[in-house]
A and B are shown apart, each in its own frame.
Chain A
Amino acid sequence: DAKTTQPNSMESNEEEPVHLPCNHSTISGTDYIHWYRQLPSQGPEYVIHGLTSNVNNRMASLAIAEDRKSSTLILHRATLRDAAVYYCILRGGNKLVFGAGTILRVKS
């Protein structure tokens, strides 16, 4: 499975936008870019996914670089409930392979 690289942690102020980067320089043409997040002591939760075009849903936006070697998850207005570990995962097959993720801290 292709590898992703994310910052260990990031901090944001409440009500401000957050941009979570992910590098995936070895992505293959058929890999989808998936984002999940995990709140403390809970199972992961799907956030968003995309292939080539930018994607928006009620939770977040996903901006994908033209060469697909990087992507950015955008939370438009961070709340305290968004504090979690965010995982960027490349999915080419049936399995999800989790990396270390980014710990997002949100300050009030």
Chain B
Amino acid sequence: GAVVSQHPSRVICKSGTSVKIECRSLDFQATTMFWYRQFPKQSLMLMATSNEGSKATYEQGVEKDKFLINHASLTLSTLTVTSAHPEDSSFYICSAPGPFRDTFGSGTRLTVV
């Protein structure tokens, strides 16, 4: 079946630095990918839709300059958290839609200290 690989699985960074998270579709092409954020004991919140070859579409309230999304190929989307702060600490998850189901990455636990 379809597999989405997400790296890293966990990362700790210092406040003010940037962190890049990668999401790869391993055995299929994904012109669209989704990025979610999940705080402890809460549900997933859609942050943005990543579109191959064009600009990402951000959900209301998500800062596009802080969460940079690049979808340079049909198998890779990246999310860069710029100038990270402790409040950006969260579980970030990507997914790729299929004909009838979405395939999710395993998530990235970001801790900003």
Contacts and interface: CB of A to CB of B under 8 A. Distances in A.
B43 A98 contact: yes
Interface stretch (A15-23, A42-50, A70-78): A42-50
B interface, by DSSP: helix, strand, loop or mixed? strand
Interface in A35-83: 36, 38, 41-46, 49
Interface residues of B, number: 24
A7 interface: no
Contacts, number: 49
Interface stretch (B60-68, B71-79, B94-102): B94-102
Size category, A interface: 20 to 34
B32 interface: yes
Interface in B1-18: 4, 6
27 contacts: A34-B101, A36-B102, A41-B109, A42-B106, A42-B107, A43-B4, A43-B6, A43-B95, A43-B106, A43-B107, A44-B102, A44-B104, A45-B104, A46-B102, A46-B103, A49-B100, A49-B101, A87-B43, A95-B34, A96-B34, A96-B95, A96-B102, A98-B36, A98-B44, A98-B46, A100-B43, A101-B43
Q: Can you list the 4 inter-chain pairs with the closest CB atoms, starting with the nearest?
A: A43-B104, A46-B101, A98-B44, A98-B43
Interface of A: 32, 34, 36, 38, 41-46, 49, 87, 94-101
